[in-house]
């Protein structure tokens, strides 16, 4: 599923649209360095690699296709504008997902504000939920459905980054603004909660203890 259509890219004005892509074998970091110098073809290749990853990350966190698309589009726009600030000493995946994380936090804050306003008007809270709808949850494997149900959103995000995105704790720390030690502690506790919910040991590998 493509998050940004060619029409949407063209309408954005600042994000490259139909331009020649860079070599598909180039590393993310090499492409990002070129994008930072204004190479739109390099950034278009990065969009192809990351638009769905960003969308999926936002969707499992927010449970809304609309909000996930909004986060993905804003993330890619911000990544293009901030491209000159990227430094190759950090993995590009960590860098762009940290932008997505900040956009997700903005959506969550907006939801909370809207909810408070509705309650203040004596209305039913209702509205968008951070929990996936039944049909959407059914599409997830049992372990992920259990994780979605028993973990706080911020902890679920960390578990997703570790096992769905295969990120190391130090990379997750970069994305979420935590420490590597804090990430490992939360992962350990999360696995225990998921195992308890499933009534069995969770089939995920132990967290690598390297920083």
Digitized pLDDT (tens) for each residue of the chain, 211 residues in all: 344 554 444 434 444 443 444 556 789 999 999 999 999 999 999 999 999 999 999 999 998 999 999 999 999 999 999 999 999 888 999 999 999 999 999 999 998 887 777 665 554 444 444 444 444 444 456 788 888 889 999 999 999 999 999 999 999 999 999 999 999 999 999 999 998 888 854 454 443 444 4
Whether the CB-CB separation of 83 and 35 falls below 8 Å is answered with yes
Is 166 in a helix, a strand, or coil? coil
Cut 0.75: pTM above it: no
Nearest-angstrom CA–CA distance, 32 and 46:
8
Torsion angles phi and psi, residue 126, rounded to 5? 45, -145
Q: DSSP label at 83? A: G
pLDDT at position 111, please? Answer: 85
Distance from CA of residue 10 to its chain's centroid?
A: 24
How many CA atoms within 13 Å lie on the side-chain side of 72? 29
């Amino acid at each position: 599923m493509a998050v940004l259509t060619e029409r949407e890219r063209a309408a954005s004005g600042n994000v490259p649209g139909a331009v020649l892509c860079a070599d598909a074998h180039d590393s993310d970091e090499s492409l990002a360095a070129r994008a930072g110098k204004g190479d739109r073809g390099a950034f278009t290749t990065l969009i192809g690699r990351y638009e769905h990853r960003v969308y999926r990350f936002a969707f499992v966190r927010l449970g809304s296709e609309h909000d996930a698309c909004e986060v993905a589009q804003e993330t890619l726009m911000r990544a293009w504008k901030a491209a000159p600030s990227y430094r190759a000493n950090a993995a590009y995946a960590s860098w762009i997902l940290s932008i997505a994380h900040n956009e997700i936090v903005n959506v969550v804050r907006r939801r909370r504000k809207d909810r408070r306003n509705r309650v203040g008007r004596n209305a039913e809270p209702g509205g968008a939920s951070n929990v996936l709808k039944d049909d959407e949850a059914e599409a997830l494997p049992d372990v992920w459905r259990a994780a979605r149900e028993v973990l706080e959103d911020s902890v679920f995000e960390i578990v997703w980054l570790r096992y769905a995105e295969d990120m190391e704790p130090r990379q997750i720390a970069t994305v979420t603004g935590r420490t590597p030690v804090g990430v490992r502690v939360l992962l350990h506790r999360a696995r225990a909660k998921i195992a308890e919910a499933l009534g069995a040991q969770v089939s995920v590998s132990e967290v690598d203890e390297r920083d």
